[in-house]
Amino acid sequence: MRFLILALLTLTYPLLAAPSEPVSLEHGTAPTKRHDVVLAADKDTPSFERYALKGDDSQFPRFLIRELPSGKMVGSLKWPGDSSGDNQPLRNHTRILWHPNGTAVAINTNERYYSHTNILALDPKTGKFIELRFPDYKTLTGYPKPKSDDLRPRGHGIALRWTEKGFLLYEMSSTPGVSYKGTDPLHHRIALRVTPQGMEVVDREALPTTE
């Protein structure tokens, strides 16, 4: 009898200990069906409880990029915003934009006063997705970076779409404060060439100032 109980516990434990299934995201699967982006946990799943905020950003849930159909993880991105900002599921704050050929993905996340875009590209040598750094502000816009003291504490950067030529159309804006006297409209739309080696500005335009 004791042996039977131990055997049942041995069989049951892996099921109980197995991690919960990651949360699917709208448009998370690449057009090629070779990869998808999922969220490790969300506010309406039991596994989110272990991400209780304790001042350590490493405890935030992550975006995972999986190879299909194997499910092998080939990329990871820490949630870039405030996962406790409101009661909505995090997936409601997320928008996934895959490059048509599946070699790059833009992940948009938004909060009340901020939005973020993270870009990951597939390295053909390793088969893994690597996060890319945006060019500096002056390279992106043509203007010197404004002083933070002259801006209101809110800003937005969002990937709009991939163009027919395969460029990423990206828009960024800041809100001027009462002390701002610069000529930069603080609102820009940029076309970027995205490769595993980085991002290159191919076109840009200044837009009316965002109030």
Mind giving me the DSSP string for the chain? -HHHHHHHHHHHHHHHHSPPPPEEEEEEE-TTSSEEEEES--TTSGGGGGG--SS-GGGS-EEEEEETTT--EEEEEE--S-TTSSSS-GGGGEEEEE-TTSSEEEEEEE-SSEEEEEEEEEETTTTEEEEEPPPPHHHHHSSPPPPGGGEEEEEEEEEEEE-TTSPEEEEEEEEE-TT---S--SEEEEEEEEETTEEEEEEEEE-PPP-
Predicted pLDDT of residue 52: 58
CB-based contacts of 198: which residues, under 8 Å, 6+ apart?
A: 132, 133, 135
Q: How far apart are CA 203 and CA 198, in angstroms?
A: 16
Predicted pLDDT of residue 51: 67
Same domain for 190 and 127: no
Predicted pLDDT of residue 84: 64
Q: Say how many domains are in the chain.
A: 2
Amino acid 180 reads Y
Q: Which of 109, 132, 155 is a domain's end point?
A: 132
CB-based contacts of 98: which residues, under 8 Å, 6+ apart?
A: 27, 29, 30, 31, 104, 105, 162
Same domain for 102 and 5: yes
Q: How far apart are CA 48 and CA 116, in angstroms?
A: 22
Same domain for 146 and 105: no
Same domain for 202 and 108: no
Predicted pLDDT of residue 18: 36
Q: Which of 99, 132, 165 is a domain's end point?
A: 132
Task: Give the pLDDT confidence of 60-87 residue by residue, as tens digits.
Answer: 789 999 999 999 999 999 888 776 667 8
Same domain for 180 and 80: no
Give how far Cα 70 sits from Cα of 10, 73, 74, 93, Å.
26, 9, 11, 27
Enter the tokens of residue 201.
Answer: 């500005």
Same domain for 121 and 165: no
Neighbours of 69 (CB within 10 A): 8
Same domain for 23 and 107: yes
Domain assignment of residue 191, given as a range: 133-211
Task: Give the pLDDT confidence of 29-39 residue by residue, as tens digits.
Answer: 999 999 999 99
Instruction: Name residues of the chain where pLDDT drops below 70.
Output: 1-20, 51-59, 83-85, 210-211
Same domain for 109 and 65: yes
Same domain for 117 and 94: yes
Predicted pLDDT of residue 54: 55
Same domain for 111 and 26: yes
Same domain for 211 and 163: yes
Task: Give the pLDDT confidence of 9-29 residue by residue, as tens digits.
Answer: 444 433 333 346 789 999 999
Enter the tokens of residue 62.
Answer: 């992550």
Residues in the chain: 211
Predicted pLDDT of residue 69: 95
